[in-house]
Structure 1
């Protein structure tokens, strides 16, 4: 049977009503499982590439050899990282198991690429100060929150007004990685600038309401349970975007959160201005948060809770700053020479 990837026909010309649209079903299943929009975009992109790489043949007609050839091509010709290759495999597993409902024994035998164990990029406290001093405005505040709280980038950008507890100097992170909630501190030094940012969001929300908009997207089924909650200020983003845009999930015009690409450009400019030679992404500020807490003597379990790690083994990678990597071991070159038996030094 012929099928469609999306807008493009693959073969034959049966009526549109009779032709199932594979990618539409992929999106439907992803949204049914409440995966993020970024996961949806990544999975649909890999599935499309897989189908096109195999001459637009239906995935039901393909097997282990085709999957392994596609994944090998990503690594050999494409030169992608192991994590990227594994993401492509996860997308194909989702396609076969969740969309096509095929439990194929050969899928279990497809080997995932082994991810190399790499130490995180960590800035010194002086480098963090220089970096933040070279930033201003909302990028400065977001970068300061990432370092001051240990939040992931998207956890910070998706922060809602209701989850900032200024009285207790706490931030509640909802639906973090793995669908978990947790709390972290609100640095006292950021209390006033964050309150100003929230007031700015209040003014934008009031303007949106006056113009007939102002409804935030609510997670999962809350919009059906509380149809008017999306217009309340508490559900708005702390860092709203400057302009409204069309929501790709339902076509409604809304104000999305601050664009992470703007922050990336601001971090790059600040890194160059500060004279920092280490490669730098926003996640390095989270790494630096954990590392500096360890250096200050906080126990690893506390840091695990603040970071939202499921397993303390994940947090233990930051122990590289303690007694390893040259920080706690004296180089033999710097060791004093042992005294000679005749009382003379060599």
Structure 2
């Protein structure tokens, strides 16, 4: 088995997300390519140690000037390679200690929309992009990540209890979030559309849902259930990854991003608006409404409270909510 395939297999065993798997494979490849260019030949990772890792990370910081988060991802990928993929071949302290020049990660305040700006944005989705409009409303209303909206299944929507179940969120953790009462009827219509589309797909031999590997292995019959269908599905059928027929995957995340950007332009918003802006706005608006930071942390699925605390810096109840002394002067 090739090295990058080994990286993929170990990542999958540890239930890493597909994006993380791809990123780790890419960084391992770049790490080895960097040293191939220097040595004029391919060198196996066992030939490379702390000094070589330092040289690669310094290259990222100095020559490529990557962001701190990008360099941290590279470090994580390469340490993962040695610690988990090559653990049986190398000594535990093979890398030893390394002191590479680290790219500084700037502290960037999140972009937050006002309540009025959110309303203008959501109202700006045209009828041709009604599915994306509902996705945006659900993302803002539940504080979801883009991937969580895109990957949501029919069974994750509990209309009776007004709850959203987020399964395998960041860090492969499940959590519950709030389902806005104003979205109950639109979601009922969306689920009805999913059912209709499901019947059409079955007639074409493409009715089986795309299942996570663990579910496909233990409960293959789940593919026949409506609950496992994506709530927001792709517009067209595509070939299954195993080559066994057609399937309908989830809505395209990039197309969703473009729809948000186009809606922001139509709404006349000057701020840079992305799908994550809706999540930032959800958290900030809850904080401004008086909800405690721990509750918001749970709804967002943050492991560390310090991650949630950043919203205290942009909420109108925080530092930016202070009345400026200039306003007390008669100018």
Give the TM-score normalised by structure 1: 0.85
Identify the residue that residue 93 of structure 1 maps to in structure 2: 79
SS in 2 for 1:183: strand
**Which structure has more RCO (C-alpha within 8 Å, separation ≥ 6)?**
2
Identify the residue that residue 295 of structure 1 maps to in structure 2: 288
Report the Cα distance in structure 2 between the residues aligned to 1:275 and 1:69, rounded to whole angstroms: 47
Identify the residue that residue 27 of structure 1 maps to in structure 2: 8
Higher-helix-fraction structure: 2
SS in 1 for 2:326: coil
Aligned-pair CA distance for 1:33 = 1.4
1:291-339 Cα offsets, whole Å, 9 max, x none, are 01111111222212211122322222111214544322x22322247xx
Q: Which runs of 5+ in 1 are unaligned?
A: 1-19, 338-345
Identify the residue that residue 122 of structure 1 maps to in structure 2: 112
Number of equivalent positions: 317
Aligned-pair CA distance for 1:170 = 1.4
SS in 1 for 2:136: helix
Q: In terms of Rg, which structure is larger?
A: 1
Identify the residue that residue 252 of structure 2 maps to in structure 1: 259
Deviates more, 1:227-236 or 1:198-207: 198-207
**In the alignment, does 2:316 pair up with 1:327?**
no
SS in 1 for 2:171: helix
Which of residues 26, 33, 52 is equivalent to 1:66?
A: 52
**In the alignment, does 2:274 pair up with 1:281?**
yes
**In the alignment, does 2:302 pair up with 1:309?**
yes
Report the Cα distance in structure 2 between the residues aligned to 1:98 and 1:119, rounded to whole angstroms: 35
Aligned-pair CA distance for 1:107 = 5.1
Aligned-pair CA distance for 1:126 = 1.2
- CA shift in 2, pair 1:273/1:21, >3 Å: same
Identify the residue that residue 16 of structure 1 maps to in structure 2: none
Report the Cα distance in structure 2 between the residues aligned to 1:33 and 1:263, rounded to whole angstroms: 29
Give the TM-score normalised by structure 2: 0.89
SS in 2 for 1:212: coil
Verify the 8 A CA contact 1:161 1:238 in the aligned structure 2: yes
- CA shift in 2, pair 1:52/1:127, >3 Å: same
Identify the residue that residue 39 of structure 2 maps to in structure 1: none
Which of residues 208, 218, 221 is equivalent to 2:211?
A: 218
**In the alignment, does 2:145 pair up with 1:152?**
yes
CA RMSD of aligned residues (A): 2.1
1:166-220 Cα offsets, whole Å, 9 max, x none, are 1222111112112222211211221222222212211222222222222223334
SS in 2 for 1:171: strand
- CA shift in 2, pair 1:230/1:107, >3 Å: farther
Report the Cα distance in structure 1 between the residues aligned to 2:98 and 2:54, rounded to whole angstroms: 10
Aligned-pair CA distance for 1:286 = 0.5
1:212-260 Cα offsets, whole Å, 9 max, x none, are 2222233342222222112211111101111222454x44443211111
SS in 2 for 1:177: coil
Identify the residue that residue 311 of structure 2 maps to in structure 1: 318
Verify the 8 A CA contact 2:283 2:296 in the aligned structure 1: yes
- What pairs with 1:36-115 in structure 2 (closer than 5 Å)? 36-55=17-36, 56-101=42-87, 102=90, 103-106=92-95, 108-110=97-99, 113-115=103-105
Identify the residue that residue 10 of structure 1 maps to in structure 2: none
Identify the residue that residue 132 of structure 2 maps to in structure 1: 139
Report the Cα distance in structure 2 between the residues aligned to 1:189 and 1:224, rounded to whole angstroms: 37
- What pairs with 1:123-202 in structure 2 (closer than 5 Å)? 123-136=113-126, 137-202=130-195
Verify the 8 A CA contact 1:93 1:107 in the aligned structure 2: no
Report the Cα distance in structure 2 between the residues aligned to 1:110 and 1:40, rounded to whole angstroms: 26
